[in-house]
A and B are shown apart, each in its own frame.
Chain A
């Protein structure tokens, strides 16, 4: 299967809304996708939230599944992320190391887990367009397949004071997202 990049212009028009607004949604089709990207994100919100369900075509048999990564642009340098996680028997923590463009988001089910089971996650980035701050990602995510599963809280730094205008997701393994994976971008006014 040849993966494809799915991107969407987040600035496409819509009606004037309230304080929590849907900006754009990407749902992976039958061909799969190597990444999901929200580009041209308007700077008019205070915070962003991305809500997702995800599954990969990877066949790895790692008990935790496949690691979902998030990255933002523009970026001046590499960042760093932490993960606090539970496996269903063990609570532990890990980190990405100091040299990584992409940050940890959460873990995702693979083709090795029960079919129809999708991981879920909620990612927040506050003050994403503030040009005086580096930005912090925060994610709650994981999956459960009745006898196996993985829950995590993660945080990462986007090492750039420029406003974030693009956010992308990809798998650490390089595997494609499976069909029906869906990512929804929301803007929160403040």
Chain B
């Protein structure tokens, strides 16, 4: 059987930055998997978000728990799919785990749906489903911060999974 789950690119943040981008993504895979170990630079919790080269409508529905309560909400009309990252004061040296699956990213028939798991000690455990509302193929994937910067030491790897 054909082996898959192939690393496409990886990056480590050496200087705090508002975003990182994987561009010129080949169209030869079926799904993309973005794995990140991420922290941000502000003392205040802010939203991170995964976004692409697609225009159109972007939104995501989330489910999260903070250790005492479960909640669900939705972001609409933004630039990507959002997740909450704790402030650096509360979680010094703590990096959250981000796993974003972008399904059938290169097809030109359907809108693109992504599934995110984000977990961070001392903050939330979170799952979300997001819409990249365009039938165009995704050729770049980025992670950005809504207000602050992505912290030094954050790492990101993009994988491709190809179905038979």
Contacts and interface: CB of A to CB of B under 8 A. Distances in A.
Interface in A142-165: 142-147, 149-153
A167 interface: no
A118 B164 contact: no
B111 A117 contact: yes
Contact of A120 (B3, B101, B109): B101
A91 to B, nearest CB: 4
Contacts of B76: 146-147
A90 B1 contact: no
A184 B61 CA distance: 24
B163 A144 contact: no
A16 B2 CA distance: 7
B57 A146 contact: yes
> In which size bucket is the chain B interface?
35 or more
Contacts of B61: 86-88, 142, 144, 149-151
A53 B110 contact: yes
A141 to B, nearest CB: 7
Interface of A: 14-25, 51-53, 84-91, 114, 116-122, 140-147, 149-153, 180, 182, 184, 186-187
Given A118-B111, A141-B115, 10 more contacts: A22-B161, A53-B104, A85-B63, A86-B72, A120-B114, A120-B115, A142-B61, A149-B129, A153-B63, A180-B110
